[in-house]
Amino acid sequence: MCLVISNSLCITYFINTCSNKRVSAKDINVQESACLSILLYGGIVLACEMSEPERIPHFITPSLPHLSGLMTYYAEDLTICEGLLKLFRDYAEQYISMLTREQCIELFATSARLLKHYSEHHCKNRVVTKRSEAIEEEFEEQQQYNDVMSAIQLLIHLGTKDFTNLCNTVSHSSKGVDTSQITDVIFFGLQQILPLMTQGLLQFPTLCQHYFSLVGVSLFI
């Protein structure tokens, strides 16, 4: 845990120094530190079966803005980009049932910024085409688009019926999140993803299935 806290401070320092151009985001040591930090946070997120798992959102929530800020610098780096999308996806999936109103809103806001920076790069610089009909080769080819899958799954988890019901429930400690707030982030995210959903991408069955699941969720809410 101490190591992750240290890396959290490193992420904050990194973003501030990059903004002031005191360090290059292209520096290999900086990139490796970013990857390590994402992996460490990902490990914590997956520890949802620990005793008192509600402690994890209390730790993760303050770091979400800094983590989403990494996408500003590394949207073109698929390793870091995919790692960030998976981290947010897993966090939304595992901790929906224990997020407070404030934690929900923070997750919505940071996810929206994450997807915005992701979309700004990939919608302009990435062409998705299917090149093979063989099942094994198709599976390997689809792995190249795991970042797209993670982005779609993140939005699905944010917009599920259980999440909507939870956020509409008023707890003793906080007021529930309005459905309109959930709807706004889902449709905003769908707007970011939509330009990537080319005919080539829709030829991958799993990606196609998840995309239309997302469309179904957006219609439901």
Q: What is the count of structural domains for the chain?
A: 1
CA 171 to chain centre: 26
Note the pLDDT tens digit of each residue in 129-186.
Answer: 655 565 555 556 667 788 989 999 999 888 875 555 655 555 444 455 667 777 788 8
Of the candidates 203, 126, 191, the one whose C-alpha atom is nearest the C-alpha of residue 214 is 191
Euclidean distance between CA atoms 220 and 52, whole angstroms: 32
Note the pLDDT tens digit of each residue in 98-135.
Answer: 888 889 889 999 999 999 999 888 776 666 665 556 55
Segment holding 25, helix H or strand E: none
Cβ-based neighbours of 135, under 8 Å, separated by 6 or more:
none
- 145-to-12, 69, 85, 92, 131 alpha-carbon distances in Å: 29, 22, 12, 20, 13
- What is the identity of the amino acid at 58? H
Tokens 């973003």 correspond to: 15
- Report the pLDDT averaged over residues 1-5: 50
Euclidean distance between CA atoms 73 and 69, whole angstroms: 8
Q: Find the domain containing 45 and state its range.
A: 2-220
